[in-house]
Amino acid sequence: MVNNMSHIPEAPGIQDRYSRVIDYLRVSVTDRCNLRCTYCMPPEGVTLLDHEDILSFEEIVAVVTAGAELGISKVRITGGEPLVRPGLCDLVRALSHVDGLDDLSLTTNGTLLKYYAAELKAAGLKRVNISLDSLRPDRFLSITRQGHLEDTLSGIEAAQVAGLMPIKINTVVMRGINDDEVKDIAVLARMRGWSIRFVERMPLSGNEGGYVPSSEVLGHLSPLGTLDPQLPAFHNGPARCYSLKGTGSVGFISSMSEPFCSTCNRLRLTSTGMLRPCLLSDAGTVDIKTPLREGADKAIVQDLLLEAVSCKPGSHSLKSNGSRIGTAMSQIGG
């Protein structure tokens, strides 16, 4: 652990050893989910953690507050499915009062959003990313193993009514499963004013095959008109974005075919209190829960955040060496 605090950088962000500015923290609040999506979780689910193994809301706020003083300005709440954790709106309300945060968002499967969208907005949430991998009810059920399309569509509508904008839709494209729906999903996004992100499937434990490169997905969209490249924007994250007349944007998250490691700006805090420097690597994780529960003050928490940043690799090597991550996505936080 680093103990000399004189090196703490000034906002807006922590610079890593590759001169990337790290200003984004993804916070997983639970390992639980009400779906069993094929690319995220095995059909039987994962071994659920005891409540005491999960960071409390107070502990999460302590980490985010310490990070915000270092220059973390964007926080996204993830799971599992974050809305299955009781009292999530209380966490949103607390995080919305952390000085220095410019953006507070949520990634969800949308199935419970119709119950919480208005309250989340009132608590201070700015926007949502919602998973939508098929527009066909039977196929949606097959991909999620137990989800109903109408629940997610109702959640998206509730988010729009509540003003959780812009609405971003994430679609994981899988060969032979839903790649024939790419154009249909883009057309619906254009009709509803959503921004759409097509995501390459990543090689996680229990997640076999189905990879479709973004260049191929782009070809499926050519009948819809010209896609004009957009300059990087505040909310785009790792996506390469294009404008398509009538919709917010069409983006491609190409973790495998065109890795965005050189511009990666994020850390991940798992629900178990581990800081992960890289989604696609199990290496370099830093335990922050144990020090917190042993009474670590803000300075020590900031040291741990800086230690995690110092461990960020220059790039992942999944495509080149064919390796896989031995952890389900739901246990990492996406």
Amino acid letter for position 334: G
Residue with tokens 């960020």, as numbered in its chain: 312
| pLDDT tens string 36-89 | 999 888 877 777 889 899 999 999 999 999 999 999 999 999 999 999 999 999
| pLDDT tens string 266-310 | 999 999 999 999 987 777 899 999 999 999 999 999 999 999 999
Q: What is the mean pLDDT of residues 23-31?
A: 96
* Cβ partners under 8 Å of residue 84, min gap 6: 30, 32, 33, 34, 112
Q: What is the pLDDT of residue 227?
A: 86
Domain positions in the chain: 5-332
Contact present, 223 and 217 (Cβ < 8 Å): no
Asked if the 5-332 domain carries CATH number 3.30.300.30, the reply is no
Amino acid letter for position 223: P
Q: Is the peptide bond before 12 cis (omega within 30 degrees of 0)?
A: yes
Q: In what order do the strands lie in the sheet with 74-78?
A: 228-229, 240-243, 250-253, 195-200, 167-173, 127-131, 103-108, 74-78, 24-28, 266-269, 274-276, 286-287
